[in-house]
Chain A
């Protein structure tokens, strides 16, 4: 993929530290996500990827370090401002995290309830929902319950929900985990399509090398709680570092 033309950081993590008792998960992690970029963070299970992304959206409190999103430090924000900032971020959860008790439509409507007015959308809720569902190819599923959807469909609905506020940054937490290879490919294709359509910057957390290869502009390897290695897919597979090599070995 061609590199983004202008380099403008939308998300910046500096020296992020987080530990659970004696378990030091993050030991000074740094990351910069530029506008229009697809950045992949790779790491083994339990390496702290999910912790990092949760700290990023304020679901977890970091022990130390700074997190800047669109030049706002989320550590210092109050609840109201944080909630407003969160509307600028789409989050695709690992297990889709659709609300079981609501229909697809209500799932998509949920983020709109509080923040639609502040965001000055001209479209009605129904139009926004339909548009988001069209973009993920699921406009027929609008009145279904999550329990009636397949794993791939759930992921698409979750993606539609992440897109409903038209965010500029999308965080993907293991977008292909638990899906069969074909569906995983479809989801990856969808992610790319959305990236161009919505002009978003994406931070993707995965341990799926194929996913990383297809979608990434840049990859950060999170090993031992720090950004161990950084570079494009091509650069990294040529690395001689044994820890890095271990990732790309099939």
Chain B
């Protein structure tokens, strides 16, 4: 790949990266179903990615629900439509805001973490050491991490959504005197499978994208500490960008299948 910053160089560099990342994804799918399986490491990664991010996701989700409800209240009150708050908040959180915000936070925390970890392992020849010791580092490091993000981020999104709705219900309870039972009754009244299913399906793709980009960037890290920083940084940037592209495509597809 050319490192000259000419326009054509950048363009070809971009396409090279897209192609290379696609090959990386293809390699993931080729190897994920083939043994040997690194279950211990997978569980370890699930723990790191899932449990260790729950607090962050929970806090941001709670504040998101709280603020969203507080901000929307005056407008809805103007129309005398406060009773629509649970429906409005739940639909926007479950369908869009919850998955996207949680995924972006995970891209920041998990994606950059994976990028930096694999990047530094690459730089200090730990990945080579694994390979030499007869362990497939792609299986050990990449498959486990991408699988873990693909499985854990949807769960984090479910938690995030739920906690955001709790935050919203709290505001409604304190400011509007709406009981939690009534709030959640209205929430489930407003939601349909067409809201929850596409959001859940797309959250698996979010998880996959975060893991894929983090692993790719780390695995192809350039030598030196600067390379590690760059790997972690570009993992976040690329993952965030890809998340929005995936989201766009997901909305497009669910529009066709679920008739939003």
* Direct contact between A and B judged by beta carbons closer than 8 A: yes
B125 with A110: CB separation less than 8 A: no
Interface membership of chain A positions 108-121, coded 1 if the CB is closer than 8 angstroms to chain B and 0 otherwise: 00110111000000
C-alpha gap A89/B133 in the complex (Å):
8
A86 with B120: CB separation less than 8 A: no
B132 with A86: CB separation less than 8 A: yes
B51 at the A/B interface (Cβ < 8 Å)? no
Q: What B residues does A86 contact at CB under 8 A?
A: 131-134
Question: Which of A84, A87, A93 sits near B128, CB closer than 8 Å?
Answer: A93
C-alpha gap A89/B128 in the complex (Å):
14
A99 with B134: CB separation less than 8 A: no
Distance in Å: Cβ of B2 to nearest Cβ of chain A: 10
B126 with A113: CB separation less than 8 A: no
Q: What A residues does B129 contact at CB under 8 A?
A: 91, 93, 97, 99, 161
C-alpha gap A93/B131 in the complex (Å):
12
Measured as residues with beta carbon below 8 angstroms from the partner, the interface class of chain A is 20 to 34
Q: What B residues does A192 contact at CB under 8 A?
A: none
B125 with A93: CB separation less than 8 A: yes
B134 with A97: CB separation less than 8 A: no
C-alpha gap A54/B134 in the complex (Å):
14
* A87 with B125, Cβ < 8 A, contacts A100-B120, A114-B36 known: no
How many A-B pairs fall under 8 Å by CB?
58
Please report whether the interface of chain B is mostly helix, strand, loop or mixed according to DSSP: helix
B131 with A97: CB separation less than 8 A: no
B136 with A83: CB separation less than 8 A: yes
Closest B residue, CB atoms, query A56: B132
* A79 with B132, Cβ < 8 A, contacts A95-B124, A100-B126, A114-B36 known: no
A111 with B121: CB separation less than 8 A: no
A57 with B132: CB separation less than 8 A: yes
A97 with B135: CB separation less than 8 A: no
Q: What B residues does A115 contact at CB under 8 A?
A: 134
B242 at the A/B interface (Cβ < 8 Å)? no
Interface membership of chain B positions 5-49, coded 1 if the CB is closer than 8 angstroms to chain A and 0 otherwise: 000000000000000000000000000000010000000000000
A94 at the A/B interface (Cβ < 8 Å)? yes
A:108-147 near B, CB below 8 Å: 110-111, 113-115
B132 with A89: CB separation less than 8 A: yes
B124 with A110: CB separation less than 8 A: no
Question: Which of B117, B120, B134, B136 sits near A111, CB closer than 8 Å?
Answer: B134
Q: What A residues does B126 contact at CB under 8 A?
A: 97-100
A59 with B135: CB separation less than 8 A: no
Closest A residue, CB atoms, query B36: A114
The winner among B117, B124, B130 for most chain A CB atoms within 10 A is: B124
Chain B residues proximal to chain A, CB less than 8 Å: 36, 117, 120-121, 124-126, 128-136
Knowing that A59-B128, A84-B134 touch, tell me 8 more A-B residue pairs with CB under 8 angstroms.
A57-B131, A58-B131, A87-B133, A91-B133, A97-B129, A110-B133, A161-B129, A161-B133
What are 22 inter-chain pairs, A to B, with CB distance below 8 A?
A: A59-B128, A83-B136, A86-B134, A87-B134, A89-B132, A91-B129, A93-B129, A95-B124, A97-B125, A97-B126, A97-B128, A98-B126, A99-B126, A99-B129, A100-B120, A101-B117, A110-B135, A111-B133, A113-B135, A114-B36, A161-B129, A165-B133
For the complex of A and B, list the 7 residue pairs with the smallest distance between their C-beta atoms, beginning with the closest.
A111-B133, A97-B129, A83-B134, A97-B125, A91-B132, A86-B134, A93-B125
